[in-house]
Structure 1
Amino acid sequence: MSPAPRLASCFLLSFFLASGLFLRGDSSLFSNDLISDTCSDCSESNPNVDYGFCVASFESYPQSDQADDLTELGRISIYILMENVTGTRDFVNGILENESLDHYVQGCLEDCSELYSDSIPTLADAAEAYDEGRYKDANIYLSSVMDASSTCEEGFAEKEGTGNSPMEKRNDNVFSLGAISLSIMSELRRRRLPNQEATSY
């Protein structure tokens, strides 16, 4: 791992530790309702968010049950995205160890590796912006990560005969997780500025 992604990962872990997400008492009943309601709102307001995927994503991360408001759940959504992006970067690099890869597919995977490696420090910036309430900036960073997943997938479709993309599922997951975070920020901004359009940023 290069220094920049390593520092970014350390920063994000410190970010969530400082937020107290690992130190709260049991509030699972409230949080389960919070997760369900949040995912319902996100899926209704954003066509890129699937309710079942949203709920499953939060349930896969134990600290989600300890979030007691939407702001904390938004922080967790960014952390889940960071874990997913890091895992996807590692997955790509693992495939690249195969020396018998088709030359074109290898090139696509190398592009994906670079895109996801660059996304890790970008997500650290998104987390910092989110924590400071700079949702417009966080939106830009998160949208960049979602674009990276789309760019990765599009590379495999540019040449016929390359077969199914080995990245399709993972790219879809990254895009969907980003959409969840964006939807939560849109709602937080709407609450902050009730007389303005939350989707204007």
Structure 2
Amino acid sequence: MTEFGKQSLQAILQDLKPRSHFSYRQQKISNKERNSGIFLYGFPGNSPHPLLIIPHQKGSNIAATSVDIINQTCKTCADESYTVDYIFCLTSLQVIPVSHVTNLHGLALIAMELALRNATNTVSGIKKSLNGTAFDPFALACLENCLELYSGSVRTIVDSIGAFVSEHYVIAKVWLSTVMEAVATCEEGFAEKKGEVPPLTKENYDLFQLCNIALCIIHLLTPPLPP
């Protein structure tokens, strides 16, 4: 198993539960809603997915507060899970403009939308690779398996977002964990042949980290069980 995959999958995937269907759709908001603490945000690029409603903060100290919440969230997640890369977390969230005017719920949505964009772009990249001549039959078979895993992951992340916005946090965490298992499986497939260099290591690592960050934030938002 890959270094980034083996560290947490056993612990994270112990309590996988049956899936239900959730979906989320594009929504329109009024100026009144925008002023009340909601921000409609679409990520750059040709994403086929709906825009998300991202909660945002108001006030003169937004900049300082947003930097603090991003830094503190990433630090907390890195402290609680040795599989969370603090620098990756910080840089990934900070480059998204709306992250500087949001709260913890918004950061979770941003991490999941980044994961969705990563998975969608990787599906496109794998399809191009399968149409090329750069890989031998073994690598092509691995890429076909990864394509299936990533295509399923796109749908699972969409369901995770739907579960999260519906406040079904446990289900959202289960599905994010499923995506993390899928990218580890993709990476491991190439290791079955000695000397094979996996062509998707960066994509796999990035998606694993983004889902792990979202997983941690949702855990922070999950109410504790009653005694």
TM-score band w.r.t. shorter chain: 0.7 to 0.9
Structure 2 residue 183 is matched with structure 1 residue 149: yes
Q: What is the correspondence of 1:27-176 to structure 2 with a 5 Å cutoff?
A: 27-67=62-102, 69-162=103-196, 164-176=197-209
SS at match of 1:117: helix
Shift of 1:28: 2.8
RMSD: 2.3
* Cα contact 1:25–1:66 (8 A) shared by 2: no
Structure 2 Cα separation of the partners of residues 82 and 187 of structure 1: 21
5+ residue gaps, structure 2, are: 1-24, 27-46
* Cα contact 2:169–2:218 (8 A) shared by 1: yes
* Cα contact 1:81–1:174 (8 A) shared by 2: yes
Percent identical among aligned pairs is 34
Shift of 1:19: 4.0
- How many equivalent pairs are there? 182
Structure 1 Cα separation of the partners of residues 194 and 177 of structure 2: 28
Partner of 1:193: 224
SS at match of 1:127: helix
Shift of 1:132: 1.2
5+ residue gaps, structure 1, are: 1-6, 197-201
SS at match of 2:50: helix
* Cα contact 1:61–1:80 (8 A) shared by 2: no
Structure 1 runs, 4 residues or longer, greater than 4 Å off = 7-10, 23-26
Structure 1 Cα separation of the partners of residues 187 and 59 of structure 2: 41
The alignment's TM-score, normalised by the length of structure 1, stands at 0.82
Partner of 2:50: 13
Q: Which amino acid aligns with 1:121?
A: R
Q: Which amino acid aligns with 1:73?
A: L
Shift of 1:135: 0.8
* Cα contact 1:111–1:152 (8 A) shared by 2: yes
Shift of 1:159: 1.4
Shift of 1:119: 0.9
